[in-house]
Amino acid sequence: MSPGSVTLFQNAGSALVAVLFMASLWIVVAPMLESDKKKKRMESVATARDVMRKARLNTLQGEANLRSDGRGSRAKSIVDRFSLERLLEASDLKDKMAQAGLRGQKPIYVFYMVRLIAPLALGLFGMVFFVMLNLPDWQLMQRFAMTVALMAFGYYFPALYVKNMAGKRLAAIVPVFPDALDLLLICVESGMSVELAFGKVAEEMGDSSVELAEEFSLTTAELSYLTSRRMAYENLARRNNHPGIRAVSTALVQAERYGTPLGDTLRTMAAENRMLRVMAAEKKAAALPAKLTVPMILFFLPVLFIVILTPAALKIGEAFQ
């Protein structure tokens, strides 16, 4: 072996050792750098009780404006000055924001600002890039159509983003919701009040689903400071647009109104939500063959034909030689 080859192998070995060392170091250091997601999310709702208490006191004192989180902000001043809430009105925006985990008035003002700025910015980009510079070799109508499409995308992008956040958040809540109902049932039947039961379940479910723990913490605060428990249950259903959670909320409202045993209600709702979870899993399993059809045709069958036919082709080629 020539000296150049030896040097090349030595350099390659040194590089491999360095890569392995860096990978090992990253495996050790990475867990230390990760932030505690549960701690951050629970801290974000730790002050919900105090906020609702202050809001309740302000209501009793006759204050009309409780939107303190958006007061004085630049986005709020722009939205109020140009009446963007009426100009760019979005149906059920507060409910959609709550479903995405964005509470308060500040996210709403930011939503309207983005809905105003994004179409203008993308439209300006389209006019400069497509119309003035004429970079793609398109006809004039095609360039204008692309500019209009960019403006439409900028207008609908905030709503799509909020909807995507709400879907991800709901996907993290629904699988563990029946387990939370079982824990809530145990707490209620052990003699706890509804407020203490929701708070205890929020603490226990923090490791399984931070989003669900956050929802139960907010419900605990609302049960403590709202004028009626019915409002707290309805808010829980409004923040989580899922049939199972809405059914639980309706059942809790009826149990509160008619005085039916809460334990029986929670037991029935837990069974129904477990059934919904099983049905969702069966639906995904039933859709799997249809989803695998295209990947099998594109990737599996050609490889299978190659593996089967290549030996036969080689033998045929040898026979004709």
Residue written as token pair 């477990």:
274
pLDDT of residue 60: 43
* Total residues found in the chain within this entry: 321
Tell me, rounded to whole angstroms, the distance of Cα 99 from its chain centroid. 9
pLDDT of residue 164: 92
DSSP label at residue 176: G
Element (H or E) spanning 71, and its range? none
pLDDT tens for 46-85 read 555 556 556 554 554 443 343 344 444 666 666 565 555 5
pLDDT of residue 36: 56
For 138, phi then psi, to 5°, come to -115, 165
Which among 148, 135, 79, 147 has a CA at the least distance from the CA of 110?
A: 79
Which among 249, 250, 177, 165 has a CA at the least distance from the CA of 212?
A: 177
* H helix intervals, the chain: 3-33, 37-46, 48-60, 74-81, 84-87, 93-99, 106-126, 140-173, 177-189, 194-204, 210-225, 229-239, 243-258, 262-295, 301-320
pLDDT tens for 1-37 read 555 554 655 555 566 656 666 766 677 666 666 555 5
Q: Is 124 left (phi over 0), alpha (psi -120 to 50) or beta?
A: alpha
Cα separation, 149 vs 223, whole angstroms: 47
Q: Give every residue of the chain whose pLDDT is below 50, as ranges.
A: 6, 57, 60-72
> Full-prediction pTM beyond 0.85?
no
Which among 234, 270, 239 has a CA at the least distance from the CA of 252?
A: 234
Tell me, rounded to whole angstroms, the distance of Cα 154 from its chain centroid. 21
DSSP state string for 80-124: HHTTHHHHT--TTHHHHHHHTT--SSHHHHHHHHHHHHHHHHHHH
Which among 213, 209, 204, 212 has a CA at the least distance from the CA of 186?
A: 204
Tell me, rounded to whole angstroms, the distance of Cα 123 from its chain centroid. 29
Cα separation, 99 vs 240, whole angstroms: 6
Domain boundary assignment for the chain: 70-172, 175-279
